[in-house]
Structure 1
Amino acid sequence: MAARSDKPFGRLTWPGLALVLTGAYGVAGYMLIERWSFVDALYMTLLALTSVGFEEARPLSLAGEWFTISLLGLGVGIFVVTLSLMGVAISEGAFGRRTVRRRMKSRIGTLSDHYIVCAYGRVGRTAARELAEEAVPFVVVEPKDELIELMEDDEILFIIGDSTSDESLRTAGIERARALLCAVDSDADNVYIALAARSLNPDIFIVGRASDPTAAARLHKAGADRVISPYASTGQHMAAMALRPRVVDYLELTRRGGAPLRIEELQVDPGSELCGRSVSDVCGTTVPLAVLRFEGEIVANPQGDLLLEDGDLLMLLGDEEALRPLEGP
C-alpha cells in the first residue's frame, strides 16, 4: 500500500534546489565571462530566469549571449517541471488532504465522552470497526504514514502521531475521553500509554492489550482497568464455541445487532437518580441478569426488590426499544 505524503509542498523540494543552483550558476557565469560585479551578475540572472524583459545591466559579449541562452533554457525547464509537479499534487488531492486534515483536527477538538484507539493494526482496526458499528465517537492515534490511505478509506477520525506521546494523546482529546484502547503490538508501549493516559485523565477507562501473559500484571499496575490477551481470548472463544455453539452464536448476533434481544450494562454513578431505586423499578420490561456491587460482589438473577447503590453495575437483557430509555445520552 503506497504511503501518501502529508506535505503537499514536499515534492517541490528538488525543483526549488535546482532553482537555487541555477541562480548560483548564472551569477558565477556572468562574473567569470563578463567580469561583472556580483550585483550586476545577480541582476542579470534574475532577469533571465524571470523573463521580465528589462534591459540587461551591460552589453553582452558573444560568449555572454550564449551563456544567457543556456540560463534561459534551464529556467524554462525548471518552470515546466515545477508546474507539472504542482499539477500532479493538485490532481492527487494533496492540497485537499491538508484541508481535510485541518477540518478533522477541528472535529477531534470538539469530541467529548469519546473513545481513543491507539494503533490501527489488526487488533486496533477490529476494535475501531466495532465502535463504528455501535455508532459511538472515536479517534485513532496511528504513527505509520502508510496506514493513512486505509484510515481515509474507512472514513474514521485519526491523527498521525506516537501514542506514547502526551502531545498526541492530548490532540486526541484524552482529557475529555471516556475510554482508551491500547492496541499497540508492543507490551512495553501499551504499559507506557496506560501510565500516560491515567496521569492525563484519572477517570478514563483503559483497556490494554498484552501479548505476553506477564505483561498483564504490569498493565494493571500502570492503570489499565481491563487487559486482553489476543491469543488467550482466541483460545477461550474457540473452546466456548465448541462447548456451547448456540450460546456463542446468539451472543455474536446480539453483539452485532442481529438478534432481537441485546445485553447491556447500566452503571449507577454516585449521585445518580438510579441510586436507592429497586431493580424492578429500573428495569421495566427488561430482564435483570446480574448486579455487580461496588465492593465486588456479584448478585446473579437479582430479586426485584434489591435496591441499587452508588457504584453498582446492572446487567440487562431486552430488546432495543425497551433498552433505549435506560441508555445514557
Structure 2
Amino acid sequence: MAGAAGPDAGATGERRDMSQRDGGQGTGAGVVRMSPARRTPVGSVLRAVAAAVAVLLGIAVVVYLGRAGYRDVDGRGLTFVDCLYYAAGSLFPADYAGVTPISTSARLASVVVIMPLRVVFLVVLIGTTIRVLDERSRQAYKIKRWRSRVRDHVVVVGYGTKGRSAVVGLLGEGMRPENIIVVDTDQSAVDAASAAGLVTVQGSGTSNEVLRSAGVPDARAVVVAVARDDTAVLVTLTARELAPNAQVVASVREEENVHLLRQSGADPVVVSSGTAGRLLGLATSTPSVVEMVEDLLTPSEGLAIAEREVEQTEIGASPRHLSDIVLGVVRGGRLFRVDAPEADAIEPGDRLLYVRKATPATG
C-alpha cells in the first residue's frame, strides 16, 4: 500500500499521532478523560481556609452564647477566647500528655499557632491522597454524566496536524468542545486535547474497545486523521463496523489508496498530499487563488463554505439566481455543481452548498 511507511509530510517536527506510535496495534481499553475544572490552587486554598474559619467561629459563637452552661477547669466563667479554644479543641482533638493551656495567652497561641500547624501537618500527610481521590471521583461523575447526555458527537482519531485542524473546523462550525472526542495514544497529544476542553480517550483507534469507549457506535461522524494510510484503512474498517450509519471521513496521503478507504467504508476521502500539491502549483502562478481557498476553508474568519436546507420560497427557482452565492446542490446524497443540468431548478429536500460570511468560533 503506497505511503504506508512514511510519516505525514505535514507532521514533520510535530507530535506523532496514535498510528505512528503503536503501528496500528491495539493497546487495550481506552481511558476516557474529561477536561479538568479550571481552579487556581490559591483560590482553592482560600476557599478552604474561609470555610474552616467560618466553622470555627460558628462553634465558638454558639458556645459563647450558651456559656452559662459551661465551666472552665478552675471554675470560672468562659471568655470568648476560651470558647474559641474549646471550638478548636472540639474540631481537632489531641492528647497533649497532660499539658493543658490555662492562661488566655496560652489558649490564644494554641488556637492561632498550634492548631493551624497541626492542620498543615495533616495536609502534608494525606492531602495528596485526598486530592487524587477527589479528582478521580469528579472525573467518574463527569464521565457518567457525559455518557448519559452526549448526542450527535464527533470522534476524531489522531490529534496530529490533521486532527487538530479538523477540530478547529468543527469548533468553527459551532460544535461544543464536549461533543468532540479525541482518540490518540500519545500522552502529550491527549494532554493538549484535554487542555483545549475536549473529551479524550487514550488508546489505539484500531481497537474495538477503544472506539467503543469513545462512543463511536452512537457518533454522528468519525474523522480518521492518522498519518499512515494502512492504519487509516484499519481504523476506518473498525469504525464502520461499530457505526454502520455514521459518517466516516478519512484522510489519505496517496491518491492511489483512495479506493481502499472507500472500500473500507469511508464516505468522503481527503487526499492530503494531492490537495497540498495542487495548492502549491497554483501558488506559483496565482497566489491570490490559494489565499481565497484558505479563506473559504477557515470557518472563523472571512468567507466560509456552508450547507443549508432550501427555503419553501426557493423551490422551483434556479440556484444561480438566489441572493446567496450557491456552489452546488445536494440531492439524495449526491452533489451537483451549480452549472450541472440537474441543478437548474431547486427541488423539495435539496440542500444548498453556498458561500457565507464566517462567524468567529464561540467554543
Same fold, judged at TM 0.5 (above): yes
Greater CA drift, 281-290 or 100-109 = 281-290
1:197 paired to 2:239: yes
1:228 paired to 2:228: no
1:125 paired to 2:177: no
CA distance in 2, matches of 1:230, 1:256: 19
CA distance in 1, matches of 2:246, 2:313: 22
- Contact 1:278 1:306 survives alignment (8 Å): yes
Query: Equivalent residue for 1:75?
Result: none
Superimposed CA distance per residue, residues 138-187 of structure 1 (whole angstroms, 9 cap, x where no aligned partner): 11112233433222222211122322222322232223322111112232
1:256 paired to 2:299: yes
CA spacing shift, 1:317–1:278, aligned 2, 3 Å: farther
- Contact 2:32 2:214 survives alignment (8 Å): no
Q: Which AA in structure 1 matches 2:150?
A: L
CA spacing shift, 1:202–1:149, aligned 2, 3 Å: closer
CA distance in 1, matches of 2:262, 2:352: 24
- Contact 1:139 1:172 survives alignment (8 Å): yes
CA spacing shift, 1:230–1:124, aligned 2, 3 Å: same
CA distance in 2, matches of 1:181, 1:318: 24
- Contact 2:158 2:226 survives alignment (8 Å): yes
CA spacing shift, 1:152–1:222, aligned 2, 3 Å: same
Identity across aligned pairs (percent)?
25
CA spacing shift, 1:229–1:297, aligned 2, 3 Å: closer
CA distance in 1, matches of 2:185, 2:351: 36
Query: Equivalent residue for 2:353?
Result: 315
- Contact 1:293 1:299 survives alignment (8 Å): no
Query: Equivalent residue for 1:278?
Result: 316
Q: How many positions carry a matched residue from both structures? A: 237
Superimposed CA distance per residue, residues 3-55 of structure 1 (whole angstroms, 9 cap, x where no aligned partner): xx999xxxxxxxxxxxxxxxxxxxxxxxxxxxxxxxxxxxxxxxxxxxxxxxx
Superimposed CA distance per residue, residues 185-212 of structure 1 (whole angstroms, 9 cap, x where no aligned partner): 2323321221222222222111112234
CA distance in 2, matches of 1:129, 1:201: 24
CA distance in 1, matches of 2:346, 2:192: 49
CA spacing shift, 1:288–1:301, aligned 2, 3 Å: farther
1:183 paired to 2:225: yes
* Aligned counterpart in structure 1 of residue 216 of structure 2, from 163, 174, 183: 174
Displacement of 1:289 in angstroms is: 2.5
Displacement of 1:242 in angstroms is: 3.5
- Contact 2:320 2:326 survives alignment (8 Å): no
* Equivalent position SS for 1:135: coil
CA distance in 1, matches of 2:170, 2:335: 29
1:152 paired to 2:190: no
Displacement of 1:116 in angstroms is: 0.8
Larger relative contact order, structure 1 or 2 (CA cutoff 8 Å, min sep 6): 2
CA distance in 1, matches of 2:352, 2:273: 29
- Contact 1:184 1:209 survives alignment (8 Å): yes
> Structure 2 length as normaliser, TM-score?
0.54
Displacement of 1:123 in angstroms is: 1.9
Query: Equivalent residue for 2:181?
Result: 139
Displacement of 1:119 in angstroms is: 1.7
Displacement of 1:296 in angstroms is: 5.0
- Contact 2:32 2:202 survives alignment (8 Å): no
Query: Equivalent residue for 1:45?
Result: none
CA distance in 2, matches of 1:275, 1:223: 37
CA distance in 2, matches of 1:251, 1:183: 21
* Equivalent position SS for 1:130: helix
- Contact 1:114 1:179 survives alignment (8 Å): yes
Query: Equivalent residue for 1:242?
Result: 284
Greater CA drift, 312-321 or 230-239 = 312-321
1:298 paired to 2:340: no
- Contact 1:108 1:139 survives alignment (8 Å): no
CA distance in 1, matches of 2:150, 2:260: 30
